[in-house]
Amino acid sequence: MYTMSQAQAIKDIAGGSITTPKGYKASGVHAGLRYSKKDVGLIISNVPANCAAVYTTSKFQAAPLKVTQESIAEEQKIQAVIVNSACANACTGEQGLRDAFQMRQWTAEKFHLQPHHVAVASTGVIGEFLPMGKIQKGIQMLEPGKEEEFAADFQTAILTTDLVMKSCCFSTEIDGKTVYMGGAAKGSGMIHPNMATMLAFITTDVNIESNYLHAVLKEITNTTFNQITVDGDTSTNDMVLVMANGESGTNSLTPAHADWDHFVQLLAKSCESLAKQIAKDGEGATKLIEVEVNGAINDGEARMAAKQIVGSNLVKTAIYGEDANWGRIIGAIGQSDAKVNPDTVDISIGPITMLKNSEPQPFSEEEASIYLQDNMIQIHVDLHQGNGNGKAWGCDLSYDYVKINASYRT
Amino acid sequence: MYTMSQAQAIKDIAGGSITTPKGYKASGVHAGLRYSKKDVGLIISNVPANCAAVYTTSKFQAAPLKVTQESIAEEQKIQAVIVNSACANACTGEQGLRDAFQMRQWTAEKFHLQPHHVAVASTGVIGEFLPMGKIQKGIQMLEPGKEEEFAADFQTAILTTDLVMKSCCFSTEIDGKTVYMGGAAKGSGMIHPNMATMLAFITTDVNIESNYLHAVLKEITNTTFNQITVDGDTSTNDMVLVMANGESGTNSLTPAHADWDHFVQLLAKSCESLAKQIAKDGEGATKLIEVEVNGAINDGEARMAAKQIVGSNLVKTAIYGEDANWGRIIGAIGQSDAKVNPDTVDISIGPITMLKNSEPQPFSEEEASIYLQDNMIQIHVDLHQGNGNGKAWGCDLSYDYVKINASYRT
């Protein structure tokens, strides 16, 4: 997608967030859906923003996703997104849909927006109805601002069992002007009582048509958000939404624009940053695992093999146990649908080569043990079948994963 | 595959085993591959038996599987199978292959068999060479017998971290004569240090050509062994081998034979019994989970959905926590490739209906809690899309799973 020299054109903005790009404000309040944590949040743009979104592939898409799709379908513009945690409004039938539309309507009224300029997202318990009185009260309480603490309020309001807030901010030059992109996400913490939901919201002041934005987002999602796995389960509520309000004043970006690649990198950096933060904060996780596969027959197969490895319970428990079990990596590769020659596989964990042309290599157990104590573990595989490359991210599988997911009621 | 009334034609033989069918003996010895447990085993038939085998789909098939395939390819007959635990002889290249052939040769010499009438299987560590001196010594020590303790010796010799032996024995009538089928298996206990390997050996005195036997075995494997999952990982060494020596003296079975269905049931019962024993003894497992999906557009999709549910870490941890989290079942269904209408799904756990036409049903938490304390949990899903039915089996995900797989070296 992007090369190193291009990537240097992207700057990491320390302390930046979804409100750093021009024309965006945010808010997050405690509306009583949870005991004490903030639970209703909003991002709002000065003007209707071009936008793009991708959604869960689950066949049970939750009501808010349907409402958001309907909003975007009308004009491909979003000015605000309203989010609640604690209740996913999923598997809630007709009433759930009415509730999600009502949530959109209240937000439009409060901020004097067209209803179809409002996107809706929810995360939390499946099969329960939204507490609409609290949602209404929460929306009334929202007072968006631009300062760092407003972005933090939003970042907190969307969390469930996540341990940390997830955000990013990058900038680049387009038409000689500095443009910004900010992101906020919630991750793979299991929620009371049902599912891991991934939500990511990205704001930018770049000027780009929605159709181009959508094409790039889809492509980049395949190499970032779709390449993380915590437990292999897909939520009913997953959504990634990008708003581009054009407030930076640059010309509209198209693939023909000289700075097109800068924009693609900007979005790729943002998505990868949020995706890795989500993987790292997986339930019970103690380590981020990054798997890179090279030499597959194409990039898609490389990504598939990488995801199979990082999603293997055996690999995940081995990493948790700080054990250099390359046999489990072989097992995962052998099981993936990627084309493999059983006699030409290289595997290394960190700097240590363990398999070369499918033959076990002697290595220092002590050196391996020291490397595996790190909290970021890299696994590298070369299949020697072609030029396909891909990465995937996940986390280890610990006692706490079982504890969090088995014992919430007891 | 078989109906209730047909299934009644199959008798469960208490205390029966792989040596119950006519003409089979077994043995198991301690050859020093392990500290004290038996580690080399043999099944032998009076005469070369017709046979069929299915193997792991892993791209890294271990050396013994290649040797077994070569043996069977020559004449479709097997008279003995030699098995070792502790070392998988996988990812061992040319030398591994030579070692597996040598193991076959020694067995043929000791028992005066044609080498191509010997099948070889191994289970244990990946990436290490067989200790050939110990293998040779073990083969020399084998003294097969027909009594129950000889079968038990074999059943023990093939185990790795399995907690219990797995065996079965059934009989039915063919041509007015009683025929027997016995089975021994090892399961999904993780082995030091690498993989879960599933091995199953089935003996019968039925008279059937190898090509028919292979066709039926393949079909039945799809609905039994391929429908169990402990952690979603596939071994390099999985193999199911059936020997049919014809010693019962019946006519040769073909699909045109009046008792063909009895034979199909006999094999299905045996495979299902061993498969469920393997699932129940999954690492750290406290409960066997059986998922039945009805109303899929075909049987294949029903099996796919059932396996997705029983393989979900979220479902597995919920069952471990005795928590009636039907939302996680919805999540797994939504993620499977089976055709689903999001508005027509029924879910029940045991006798308790939780979702009807995709609408949450009120149920007694107390009743659910009592049911979930059982050690055999049944989940039933109806998709209302067609007449496809399928089952899958697995186990819960416990602290001990993580412990077994993370801490073996520490």
pLDDT band at B410 (very low <50, low <70, confident <90, very high): very low
Q: Give the span between the Cα atoms of A387 and A87, in whole angstroms.
A: 44
Taken in order B131, B136, B138, B139, the sign of the CA dihedral is: positive
Residue B20, annotated as binding a ligand: no
Chain B residues with CB-CB distance to A193 below 8 A: 323, 325, 327
The DSSP symbol for A253 reads B
Cα B87 from Cα B63, distance rounded (Å)? 11
Give chain A's domains with CATH numbers: 4-280 (3.60.70.12), 288-406 (3.10.20.340)
pLDDT in tens, B57-103: 788 889 999 999 999 999 999 999 999 999 999 888 899 999 999 99
B283 is in an annotated binding site: yes
Does B229 qualify as catalytic in the annotation? Answer: no
CB atoms within 10 A of CB B410: 8
- Tell me whether the omega of the peptide bond preceding residue B144 falls within 30 degrees of 0, making it cis: no
DSSP B334-390: HHSSS---TTS-EEEETTEEEEETTEE----HHHHHHHHTSSEEEEEEE--SSSEEE
Any chain B CB within 8 A of the CB of A400? no
Tokens of A178: 């500095």
Taking residues B388-403, report their average pLDDT: 87
Whether the per-residue pLDDT at B268 is higher than 60: the answer is yes
Among A169-173, A296-300, B28-32, B391-395, the least confident range: B391-395
Please answer yes or no on whether A402 and B401 come within 8 Å at the CB atom.
yes
Closest alpha carbon to B22 in B203, B174, B168: B203
Helix (H, G, I), strand (E, B) or coil at A200: strand
B382 forms bridges with which residues in the sheet?
B294, B346
How far off is chain A from B363, nearest CA to CA, in Å?
13
| CB distance B267 to B202 below 8 Å | yes
pLDDT one-digit tens code per residue, B122-152: 998 888 899 999 999 999 999 999 999 999 9
Identity of residue A47: V
| Mean pLDDT, each 10-residue run in order, chain A (410 residues) | 55 96 98 94 98 89 95 97 94 93 98 98 90 98 97 95 90 95 82 60 97 95 87 78 96 94 95 92 87 96 94 87 87 88 94 92 92 95 96 87 63
Q: How confident is residue B323, by pLDDT bands cut at 50, 70 and 90?
A: confident
Query: What does the angle CA B393 – CA B171 – CA B394 come to, to the nearest 5 degrees?
Result: 5
**How many CA atoms within 13 Å lie on the side-chain side of A265?**
21
Neighbours of B300 (CB within 10 A): 14
- Rounded to whole angstroms, the Cα distance separating A80 from A98 reads 19
Q: What does DSSP say about strands A352-356 and A359-360: parallel, antiparallel, or unpaired?
A: antiparallel
A358 at B interface, C-beta within 8 A: yes
Best of B56, B57, B59 to disrupt the A interface by mutation (most A CBs within 10 Å)? B59
- Alpha carbon A149 to chain centroid, angstroms: 22
Q: Does B334 touch chain A (CB under 8 A)?
A: yes
Question: Other C-beta atoms within 10 Å of A8: how many?
Answer: 9
Residues of B in contact with A196 (CB under 8 A): 314
B234 touches chain A (CB under 8 A): yes
Q: Which residues of B106-164 form beta strands (DSSP E)?
A: 118-122
